Amino acid sequence: MSGTLVLCGAPIGDPRDASPRLGEVLASADIVAAEDTRRLRRLAHALGVTISGRVVSCYDAVEGARAEMLTEQLLAGSTVALITDAGMPAVSDPGYRLVAAAALAGVPVTVVPGPSAVTAALAVSGLPSDRWTFEGFLPRKGGERRSRLHGLAAEPRTMVFLESPHRLAAALRDLADVLGGGRRATLCRELTKTWEEIVRADLAGLVAWATDGREIRGEFTLVIAGGGGGARAGGDAAGSLARAGGGAGTTEPTAADLAGAVARLAGAGLPPKDARKAVAADYGISPRQVYDAVIAVRDAGTAEPD
C-alpha cells in the first residue's frame, strides 16, 4: 500500500500563522522534503516541533531527481511532507514536478492549507477580486518583460505579480509604460513581517515611490487592476487622473485637461513621453493629440498679452 504526499503551506512571515496540523505533519512524516532545510528547522523550532523523519532538500535545481526518488518512497508506503520556504508548494515554488509524478503513479496527494502571499495581497489591495489571474514573476530581460506585458494590456481581470527587490523599479517602469501610468495598483512588501508595507496608488505613483532614493528591500507582491472599466473603478483608490477630475469617461477633454494630466504623471516620476502615452490610453485618444495639447497649453502660457 502506498503512502501519501502531503503538501504543506508554510507561513509567509509570521510563524504564528501556521496551523496546529502543520506541526503535526512535520513531526510525524517519514520524510520531509524542504526547499531550504535550514528554514525548515527554524520553522520547526518556532513551532516547538521535533522532526523525527528524514529531511531531504527539494529546491528547483534538484526537484526532478528528487521527484523520482520520493515517488519510489511513496510507493513503498512512506508519508512524505513537502514544504517550501513560504506559502504553498508548486505556486511559484518547487513542487509541481513531484505532485505530477506522484499523481501519475497513483499515489494519494493531500494538502495542509496555509498562508499565501498571492491571496493575502489580493485581499488587502482594494481591487476587484471576484475574477483575477496570477502571473508570477515577469521575465528578467526588459524586452521579454515588455513583450509579456503587451500581451496582458487588455486583460480584464485583476492581475497579481511577484517581483524581486533588484528588479522592482525597472518592472514598474515597464508596467507604467505598457499598461498606462494611471492604472490602479497596490504594492505589498513583506506581508505579515515586521516591516510590512502596503502602497495603494497608480502605476505612475508606484514608479515614483520606488525611485525616490529609498533602499528597495524585501519580497514584493504587486496587484494591478485589469484593463477596461475595472481599471479605474472604486472610490479613493482611483488613479491619478480620476483623483484630479479627468480621465476616462470625460467625453471631450480640453487641452488644459490633457496637459494637466500629463503634468501630474510627470510630477509623479513618469518620463514625459510615457506620461503622454498613459494619458492617451486613459482618454482613448492618440498620443499625438495629447502632445499637441501640451504644446498648445505651453504656447498659450508664454504668449504675449494683448
302 in a structural domain: no
pLDDT over threshold 70, residue 269: no
Query: Counting Cβ atoms within 10 Å, is residue 21 exposed (0-12), middle (13-18) or buried (19+)?
Result: middle
Average pLDDT over every residue of 268-283: 75
Lowest mean pLDDT of 112-116, 163-167, 220-224, 265-269, name the range: 265-269
Complete DSSP assignment for 175-200: HHHHH-TTSEEEEEESTTSTT-EEEE
226 in a structural domain: yes
125 in a structural domain: yes
Question: Looking at the structure, do residues 141 and 278 belong to the same domain, yes or no?
Answer: yes
Question: Looking at the structure, do residues 104 and 144 belong to the same domain, yes or no?
Answer: no
107 band by pLDDT with thresholds 50, 70 and 90? very high
Whether residue 225 contacts residue 185, with contact meaning beta carbons closer than 8 Å, is answered with yes
Per residue in 17-70, pLDDT (tens digit) is 999 999 999 999 999 999 999 999 999 999 999 999 999 999 999 999 999 999
CATH number of the domain that residue 17 is part of: 3.40.1010.10
pLDDT at residue 299 in the model: 82
Whether residue 262 contacts residue 227, with contact meaning beta carbons closer than 8 Å, is answered with no
Find the radius of gyration of the CA atoms of the chain. Answer: 24
User: For residue 81, what is the enclosing H or E element?
Assistant: strand 80-83
231 band by pLDDT with thresholds 50, 70 and 90? very low
Rounded to whole angstroms, the Cα distance separating 112 from 160 reads 23
Average pLDDT over every residue of 128-148: 94
Measure CA 188 to chain center: 8
CATH number of the domain that residue 144 is part of: 3.30.950.10
pLDDT over threshold 80, residue 281: no
Query: Counting Cβ atoms within 10 Å, is residue 100 exposed (0-12), middle (13-18) or buried (19+)?
Result: middle
Rounded to whole angstroms, the Cα distance separating 100 from 276 reads 47
Average pLDDT over every residue of 93-110: 95
301 in a structural domain: no
Average pLDDT over every residue of 168-179: 96
Whether residue 176 contacts residue 237, with contact meaning beta carbons closer than 8 Å, is answered with no
Show which of 115, 130, 156 is a domain's final residue: 115
pLDDT over threshold 90, residue 97: yes
Average pLDDT of the chain is 87
Question: Looking at the structure, do residues 191 and 135 belong to the same domain, yes or no?
Answer: yes
pLDDT over threshold 90, residue 240: no
171 in a structural domain: yes
Compute φ and ψ for 62, nearest 5 degrees: -115, 0
Whether residue 280 contacts residue 290, with contact meaning beta carbons closer than 8 Å, is answered with yes
197 in a structural domain: yes
Question: Looking at the structure, do residues 288 and 228 belong to the same domain, yes or no?
Answer: yes
Question: Looking at the structure, do residues 260 and 132 belong to the same domain, yes or no?
Answer: yes
pLDDT over threshold 60, residue 82: yes
Show which of 71, 100, 115 is a domain's final residue: 115
Question: Looking at the structure, do residues 159 and 260 belong to the same domain, yes or no?
Answer: yes
Rounded to whole angstroms, the Cα distance separating 211 from 215 reads 9
Show which of 94, 115, 136 is a domain's final residue: 115
pLDDT at residue 249 in the model: 40
Question: Looking at the structure, do residues 105 and 128 belong to the same domain, yes or no?
Answer: no
> What is the number of structural domains in the chain?
2
Question: Looking at the structure, do residues 61 and 130 belong to the same domain, yes or no?
Answer: no
Residues of the domain holding 124: 118-295
pLDDT over threshold 90, residue 233: no
